[in-house]
Amino acid sequence: MGNKKKKRVDIVYSTNQDFSYDYDDELEEETLDPGDQLLYVSIDRKKRKGKEVTLVEGFIGSAEDLKDLAKILKNKCGVGGSAKDGEILIQGNFKDKVAEILTAEGYKTKKKGGN
């Protein structure tokens, strides 16, 4: 089963024989169905030296599902990006296109901010 020692969270040493460790993979949040999620799409320029990114916020689910959704968006927009901490960043201003793609995938979307 691999080396589980590296995945242990908040290690506590105990003399209790019934003690068990908590592992990171057990802490994964369950992914909601696309129709049950409201994703916010906006343009962000903060801390990016003036460059625009399309920001998708509000995803509720596992990191793996977030990365899969980001991959779909990056492929369909033809640009790079990243996914972490429940957010997806797509390089460039693709707010309308990202909202259309997410709607086509079954997600509810709401655009934030101007432009």
Residue 3 inside a domain? The answer is no
pLDDT number for residue 26: 47
Residue 5 inside a domain? The answer is no
How many CA within 13 A on the CB side of residue 52? 9
Could you list the residue range(s) of the whole structural domain that residue 62 is in? 29-111
In this structure, what DSSP letter does residue 91 have? E
What interhelical angle do 95-104 and 63-77 show, nearest 10? Answer: 120
pLDDT number for residue 6: 58
Residue 101 inside a domain? The answer is yes
Domain of 56, CATH number, reads 3.30.780.10
Residue 15 inside a domain? The answer is no
**Regions in the chain scoring below 50 on pLDDT:** 1, 26
pLDDT number for residue 24: 52
Residue 4 inside a domain? The answer is no
Residue with the two structure tokens 């908590």: 22
Residue 52 inside a domain? The answer is yes
Tokens encoding 30: 């369950």
Residue 65 inside a domain? The answer is yes
pLDDT number for residue 49: 84
Domain count, the chain: 1
Residue 34 inside a domain? The answer is yes
